[in-house]
Structure 1
Amino acid sequence: MPTLVRERCGPLVATALLVCAALSLTACGEQRVTAGDAPNTPSTPSSPATPYVEPGAHDGAPHYRENNAFRRPGEMSPASAKDARREADRIEPVLKRLWEQKKWDPKTVRAALLKLGYEEERTGRRGERLGGKLTVTGMTARFETDHYITPEGARVGLRVHDDACVTAFTQKTNYQVSTNGPYLEHGCFEPPSGH
């Protein structure tokens, strides 16, 4: 009887061994992870980059630059950039002095900058520029935790040329002066949002 079982099961055992060998060979190099071995952090898939991602795009989002063009300042010519830097160097000591005196309200900042000889920018009903180059406003509202707040302080925009601006701010915590080209729809100031 044992011989009979061996003869009948022989082909079955051989087939089973062959299947097991094939399965174990196809698993070479694969790492098996059980639920107990799984990492606590989510894994990042290693897929090739999509062809729609622009180089240097924020978070790898497709069309990021196109969708956020309104947030990119225009280009300044070298001569305009030099002139803007010169005006920034005139404005910075005034804002530093006001900041040290804890005076950062728009009215005080505007008065101090007008003493440098700048003229306040004027616009027509349709937004056309009618003259002047200086704009001083309050800070813009920003979302914090669960509501919007508007910090104390002043924002400064000085249109040096059609392609060059000085932008600055002063507030309780700090002040800053920089140069940039104008934004497409918002002049010297970076727009808060687009459409």
Structure 2
Amino acid sequence: MQTLRLGRRRRVAVAALLLGAVISLTACGEQRGTSAAAGAPSASPSASPSSRPSSPGASPYVEPGVVDGAPHNGDNNAYRRSGEMSPAGAKEAQKEADRIEPVLKRLWRQKKWDPKSVRAALLQLGYEEERTGPKGERHGGNLTVRAMDPRHEADHYVTPEGAQVGLRVRKDACVTAFVQKTNYEVKTNGPFMETGCFEPPSGH
């Protein structure tokens, strides 16, 4: 009888040890499976090395804040960043934006978003159409109104109806706007490296 009790105790003790080991392993597995962000899956060792700059083997070319870890992302997209506006430039740009916004709102309500109509309405505010030479050099004026940029849809490019506006307020300040069938927008920004007041299209 004593031997039988000892055998049962050993089996219970062994089962308890095995159960404890399984729970411990499961808990460890869960801890590795989540990140600090609630509900977010943890990053794999190769993903987002910029978030762990001291990790061994991390690429020295990955820049902070780049989600996909693309090398030289900032350099490659520098052409899409607008220049800094001075406080005086920002103030003047906002003043002109406040003049342009009601005009575009009126045109949008009238369903007149073609470049010709938009240009004519904005020239009435006293702006002068910008003139450029054969190599893109500026010869005066401050307003450019042109068609919307083409965009890729399915297997071809389409140019949506509408007009986009670029107004040079100062050397360091622009008003950028558009009006189209669905909406209109007016904002201020510094000039872009390659495209002046107009934001360059994404991708090359």
> TM-score normalized by structure 1?
0.75
Indicate which of 88, 100, 104 corresponds to 2:97: 88
* Residues matched between the structures, number: 160
Residue number in structure 2 paired with 1:147 = 156
Residue number in structure 1 paired with 2:12 = none
1:104 corresponds to 2:113: yes
1:82 and 1:60 map into 2 onto residues whose CA distance is 37
Residue number in structure 2 paired with 1:189 = 198
Indicate which of 25, 28, 38 corresponds to 1:29: 25
2:25 match: secondary structure = coil
What code does the residue aligned with 1:144 have? E
Alignment identity in percent? 72
CA contact (8 A) 1:70 1:194 kept: no
1:194 and 1:124 map into 2 onto residues whose CA distance is 27
1:74 corresponds to 2:73: no
1:167 and 1:66 map into 2 onto residues whose CA distance is 24
What code does the residue aligned with 2:179 have? T
2:110 and 2:177 map into 1 onto residues whose CA distance is 17
CA contact (8 A) 1:53 1:63 kept: yes
What code does the residue aligned with 2:124 have? K
Structure with the greater alpha carbon radius of gyration: 1
Residue number in structure 1 paired with 2:147 = 138
Q: After alignment, is 46-55 or 62-71 more displaced?
A: 46-55
What code does the residue aligned with 1:126 have? K
Structure 1, unpaired ranges of 5+:
1-24, 32-41
1:148 and 1:194 map into 2 onto residues whose CA distance is 14
> TM-score normalized by structure 2?
0.72
Structure 2, unpaired ranges of 5+:
1-20, 28-40, 50-57
Cα 1:178–1:58, aligned 2, differ >3 Å: closer, same or farther?
Answer: farther
Superposition pairs of residues 113-192 of structure 1, within 5 angstroms:
113-192=122-201
2:125 match: secondary structure = coil
Cα 1:43–1:80, aligned 2, differ >3 Å: closer, same or farther?
Answer: closer
